[in-house]
Structure 1
Amino acid sequence: MAWLRRDRKPSHRAAEDIDLDSLLALVAESRGYNCAFAVDGHSLTLAPAPDPGPDVPDPDGLGPGPGALDAVRRDGERGREIVVRLTGLRRVAGRRTREDWPMLVSEHLTHAVAVAGDPLDVCDLAQAGPSLRTRVEAVDEVPDLTRVVGRHLNADLVELLTVGSRLVRPEEAGCWPVAPGRALEMAASNVRRERLSVEDIHLSGTPVSRLTGEGPSTATHLRWLADYLPVPADGVLAVLPDPYTLLVYPVTGIGAVRAIERLRVHAARTGGLSAQVYWWHEGRLRLIKADIVLHGGQTRLVVAPPPEFARVLARLAA
């Protein structure tokens, strides 16, 4: 195999790194590439291997056989060398079981080939930093939370790190000299510079504020809601009908109970990011569970607020 070097001196590298390199070379070869590792192990270079001609089977299940790459060869991607960074992949692999390594390696090489030639190198924080943004998604809509970089806003919403229009992969963020939490704060700072538009609307007679952005990061602006409108001490009710829109209602009186109903019905009708109502208070986004149920031929809203919000409502009603 092309990646074996007989003249190497005895290696002092960790056994895990050696095993990962062997797997990288195996997968690269199964996909029709020769590869050469940098001396420091931080990268490898994929070079197009001679076309073997007919399709060959893939007995190890590690990727498509060389014949399956003919279409890629025709569009020119296989005509040049591709440098694949490995620092982040090694960090991610170190946190996963060896059973996960074939999948990690296969995805990493596939992605490296797919983005080869892109002017932006996401593994370079100096390049990627200005393009970092955040996006809020429902947890149930994220197929695998281990394959994204983000943080939970609550049990059902997660704030994800993006670059351009796509999610940042853990092995890309693993190349950066800062922790993922710091990268998320950098992304949030970028989002803050993108101002939202604000307008007052009514939902069945209940006045609410609608904040709209040009990008899918509008929910991140809850952190700086006071930049757009007065925020009372008891916080605001909020719904996220889609990634570009945020509806809020100030909690200043018992009218918040009716506002929960109006916001919940509106969110359910839009069928967007989340159908639930949230309470934004002291930097936290908490779910106000509100279920729409059919009882005796009538539609009712059954609300189960968190204890802290229930106490706020009791005080406002007194």
Structure 2
Amino acid sequence: MKLKLLTITFLGASLVACGGGGGGGGGGSGIDTSVAYQLTARINGVDVPNFTVKPGESKVLGITTGQDVEIIANAPSTLLTTDNGAASAAELAKTDTNYRARFTTTQHTIAKRVFAQSTNPLNTAGVVITVSSSDTSFNAVTPKVGDRFTYAETDKTLAGTTVPFPLSTHIVTALTAAGWDEDFANPGPVVMSKVNFNKNGNRIGYQATANDPNGCKNALFNPEEKLLEFPLVQGKTYGSSWTTSCAPDSQLETFSAVVGPYEQVTTAGGVFRAFSIETKTVVTNSTDLRLPGKGYQQTVTVWFDPILGRNVKYRGVRSYPGGEPTTDRDKFLTETNIDLTNVVKN
């Protein structure tokens, strides 16, 4: 069983992404006509730093019930899409360069706003607004067919090599009796794999395409790769174990997690409200003969947005307590860094 299947143990469950990356830039300090068309934002009148939406992009803005969202365009715009989900939105301002609304809700929900530049309607930019209610507990969410989530990943190997990967877009393709299916596609787009999830967003299967570099073409997680357990609430602890199999090989993985604060976190994909979850995964019987101790372990901090139903940031460190491999050290990871860069919600 090749390493890559096992590399992103947490990615498969909830880092589940179109569009380009981007993100950077200043907050909503006013109209700036010196740059190409873009949107910035304020929450309750305060500029949101590092939040810029450019044509073709869709970024997330996480708020709590009762907060005002102000979206500022640097050129005259038309509001194309208004979707409030389960929230009510009282519009407080609506001009061709400034839109402001107060969102209130009794249940966690997602709202959307899509804008187009008036002089060039093909220049569209979207804002996905996740709105938390006063409830501090969160249940699993079901995505919609066509939802797309894009991630950027950079790894480091035992040889000290930094390895950047192409952007990966996870596309929800079908809702199933068990949960849902997704295509993981690289730019092109080239579908690298198909992944099967249960209703809690935990992986139960994986089928690589001929283009995927993994040695494993058909993996199963029995009974499930249980990285998420609902309801999620700060302070919750949970654990699980499963067998990852790729015929004729299999390995046992054990997992533990502690749910930390529900906090603000920023990536190129937006400004999110997410749980920080500290996790540890231990593999004790790897079939990879290059591992002297036949195993490894990884500690990961992941930030999971429970309204979006996705990981938005992942920082993982892998170690080899039984001894590091002495060959092919450029094939074994020590660090994994993954960020959500773009979100398209149906």
Which of the pair has more CA radius of gyration?
Answer: 1
Whose strand fraction is larger, Structure 1's or Structure 2's?
2
Q: Same fold (TM over 0.5)?
A: no
Q: Structure with the greater relative contact order (CA < 8 A, sep ≥ 6): 1 or 2? A: 2
State the TM-score, normalizing by the size of structure 2.
Answer: 0.23
